[in-house]
Amino acid sequence: MAYRKPKTTKPLRLLLDADVVIEAHRLGIWAALCNRAHIACPATVVHHEALFYSHDDCSVPPSIHLPSLAAKGAIEMLEATAEDAAIVRSKLADDVLEGLDPGESEALALLFVQKAADYRFCTGDRAAIHALALLGLSEQGISLEEALEAVGATKPLTRQFTKEYFREALREGQEHRLRELGLRDA
C-alpha cells in the first residue's frame, strides 16, 4: 500500500456497507482504514454475523468480527429505529427497498433522519448508491477509492469501488429522482 499525506486533518467519518468491510479486509487495508478514519457500521450489519461467515474457515475472520470491534471501540455501531426505517420506506418504491439488504436500508435511514449527519456512506453497491441519490443524499456518499485517498492510502481497486463507478451510479439515481422513478407515489 502506498501512503500519502491525508488531504484533511479532520477525521473522515465513514458509515460502511458490509461489502466495503469485506473488500477492505480482502485488500489488507481494514486496519489502516480503522486507524485513520472514524468507522461506523449500521447495527444491522454489526449483528448480522452470517454475512461475514467463511465456510472454509468455519468462522468469521476475527479481524472483521464487528461485534468484537464495536465492543472494543474500534468501530462505532449506529442504530436506527423501525420508525426511521418507515420514514425511508415512505420515500422509496417497494422494488427499490426490496432490492436492498436490511443493513443498507438502515444506513440510508440513519443518513436520512440525520442520526449520521456527519458521516459519509461508503459502499460499492450500485443499488445502494442509486437509492442514496434517490433520497437526495448524494453528497453523503463516498466511494472506497475516494475514502482511501482521503486517509492517505491508495490501492488498486475493482471497478465497483472506484470513484468513477460511484459517480455513474449516483448520476443514474439522480436522473431517476428527477423523473420520479423509484420513488413512492405520494
Partner 1 sequence: MALLRQVLGKRIREARERLRLTQQELADRVGLGAHQIVSQIEKGEREVKAWELARIAENLCQSVNELLAPELPPAPAVLWRDDPGAEAHALEARFVQRCREYGLLERLVEPRPATPLPEFRVDPSRISLQEADRLAQRTREALGLGSRPATSLVKILEADHRVKIWYESLGEAGSAASAAGDFGYAVLLNADHAPWRRNYSLAHELFHLLTWHSAQPELRDSQPERWSQVEKAAQAFASTLLLPTDSVATEFDSRVHDGKVRYADLVELARDFDVSTEALLWRLVRLGRFDEKEVQRVLNDPTFRKLDRQAMPEHWREPLIPPEAFVRLAFLAYQKGKISRTRLAGLLGTSLIDLEKTLARYGLQEAEDHEAAAAVA
Binding mask 16-55 for partner 1 (x = CB under 8 A): -xxx--x-------------------xxx-xxx-xxxxxx
Beta 76-78 vs 13-16: how paired, if at all? unpaired
**Angle CA 119–121–127, to nearest 5:** 160
Question: What's the alpha-carbon Rg for the chain, to the nearest Å?
Answer: 16
Binding mask 4-23 for partner 1 (x = CB under 8 A): -------------xxx--x-
Under rule CB under 8 A, residue 179 binds partner 1 = no
Q: Are 25 and 63 in contact (CB under 8 A)?
A: yes
One of 126, 155, 163, 177 touching partner 1 (CB under 8 A): 126
If the CB atoms of residues 151 and 173 are measured against partner 1, the closer one turns out to be 173
Distance (Å, rounded) from C-alpha 82 to C-alpha 87? 9
Task: Report the candidate in 154, 162, 166 with the shortest Cα–Cα distance to residue 128.
Answer: 166
If the CB atoms of residues 8 and 94 are measured against partner 1, the closer one turns out to be 94
Through-space distance between the first and last CA atoms of the chain, rounded to whole angstroms? 49
Q: Are 160 and 126 in contact (CB under 8 A)?
A: yes
**Residues 85-124 contacting partner 1, CB under 8 A:** 85-86, 89, 94-95, 97-106, 109, 124
If the CB atoms of residues 42 and 150 are measured against partner 1, the closer one turns out to be 42
**Residues 137-166 contacting partner 1, CB under 8 A:** 158-160
- The kind and range of the H/E element at 78 are strand 76-78
Residues that bind partner 1 (CB under 8 A): 17-19, 22, 42-44, 46-48, 50-56, 61, 79-86, 89, 94-95, 97-106, 109, 124-128, 130, 158-160, 169, 172
